[in-house]
Structure 1
Amino acid sequence: MSEIGTIMRTSAVIPVLVIDDAAAARPMAEALVAGGLKVLEVTMRTPAALDAIREMKQVPGAIVGAGTVVTNEQFVQVMDAGAEFIVSPGLTERLADPIIASGVPFLPGVATAGDIMRGLDLGLTHFKFFPAETSGGLKALKALAAPFYQCHFCPTGGITEESAPAWLGFDRVLCVGGSWVASGTPAEIEAKARAAAALRG
């Protein structure tokens, strides 16, 4: 199983996917992977999410994780569905402890210095900066990252195709999360994925 840092370096953009119909999951994953985005985050915001993870896992080359995991029950469910990494919008010890103990790559959300210090206490150094834009944007992340030299981030929340290059230009940012790549026909999604994959240069 890969470490979270390796997963974050795999693609410049991690698609944040809200799937309402599991039947659409596999074609979407095929288009994203064909466009060069192999790391896929299926959010636990819909009843179709677990089936969507199972469908996307069948796509060769896809690294499929579960996002918006906020309870231990959800953690058990997504692991049973085959999730390869876990993303949460925040960080609590109750959620983090069993995830860390399992060894599955984990990317918890942080927005403050206290959040990051809690993560460091748990042995974590890779975080999702969320919600990125409404938490002060890139300027805030640079200020927040300064005391925590050992940490790296995946900003998510309000990131667009236009704003992503500036975020990716900060050396503490390994990737960004975004939903803009996941709309349209399979051909359109593949084209958006190809453009997003090229953002890192």
Structure 2
Amino acid sequence: MLANMGNEIYRKIEQVKLLPLYTATDLTYLDRLEDILVKNNVRFIEVTFRSDLAIEAIKKLSQSNELIVGAGTVRTQKEAKDAIENGAKFVVSPAVVPEVIEYCIEQDVPVFPGTATPGDIQRAMEYGIKVVKFFPADIYGGLKAINALSGPFYDVKFLPTGGINEENFMEYVQNDHIVAVGGSFIISESLIKKDDGETADKALKSLIDKINLQK
């Protein structure tokens, strides 16, 4: 069941190649965030549980149905439950957290558990999961590690985050084992605050243009 219900979201993420990670500390910037993402046809956002406003941000961003909103840094079943009840369509964890994975499977919600080792990946696969987060990518060997892990785990795709930026993201995006890259480098509240999103819009457009050039 998990493979079937996740197919559509996995397919869409793989088309976009970018999964923005966003930590909300001021809800007044969410409308501008949505505008920029929609304008650039990046219809995904992962709202992290790194602030007390995560649930409110997920709820607000889900209302228009313009974006596929997910919850990130989900470490407990309660966080997963609260996020899904407020509109989250997928869940991302920093590790393999059985109670989070099991709850998401029960709710038919795609979950991306954080992995860094063969043991982590094997545990995720035992739940039927074939797309895993690889985190923190830079610390655990980056592309070299992903290529090595893709030997035994040839049927797994990776969503790397951590240490990926506008300078190196294309190396990851061009790798067949990678479904997409995630990070706050894609868009952030601080960048939107800088000049009402003008710089954030240009920066995101630049990332998209680079991806489109290599297609």
Q: TM-score range by the shorter chain?
A: over 0.9
Provide structure 2 residue ranges, at least 5 long, that are not aligned to the other structure. none
Amino acid at match of 2:68: I
Distance of 1:67 and 1:134 partners within structure 2: 19
User: What is residue 79 of structure 2 aligned with on the other side?
Assistant: 74
Amino acid at match of 1:56: L
Deviation sequence 1:134-179 (CA, Å, 0-9, x none): 1111111111121111100111011101110001111011110021
Distance of 1:64 and 1:7 partners within structure 2: 13
Amino acid at match of 1:156: T
Q: TM-score, normalised by structure 2?
A: 0.88
1:10–1:38 CA contact under 8 A, matched in 2: no
1:37–1:194 CA contact under 8 A, matched in 2: no
Q: CA deviation at 1:60?
A: 4.8
Question: Residue 127 of structure 1: which of 125, 132, 148 is its match?
Answer: 132
User: What is residue 163 of structure 1 aligned with on the other side?
Assistant: 168
Question: Residue 105 of structure 2: which of 93, 100, 110 is its match?
Answer: 100
Q: Does 1:186 align with 2:197?
A: yes
2:76–2:97 CA contact under 8 A, matched in 1: no
Question: Residue 40 of structure 1: which of 40, 45, 50 is its match?
Answer: 45
Q: CA deviation at 1:94?
A: 2.3
Instruction: Output aligned runs, 1:83-94, within 5 Å.
Output: 83-94=88-99
1:29–1:56 CA contact under 8 A, matched in 2: yes
**Matched position secondary structure for 1:16:** strand
Distance of 2:119 and 2:210 partners within structure 1: 31
**Matched position secondary structure for 2:69:** strand
Amino acid at match of 2:159: C
Q: Does 1:56 align with 2:61?
A: yes
Provide structure 1 residue ranges, at least 5 long, that are not aligned to the other structure. none
Distance of 1:92 and 1:51 partners within structure 2: 23
Q: CA deviation at 1:23?
A: 1.8
2:146–2:177 CA contact under 8 A, matched in 1: no
User: What is residue 114 of structure 1 aligned with on the other side?
Assistant: 119
Distance of 2:103 and 2:6 partners within structure 1: 18
Q: TM-score, normalised by structure 1?
A: 0.94
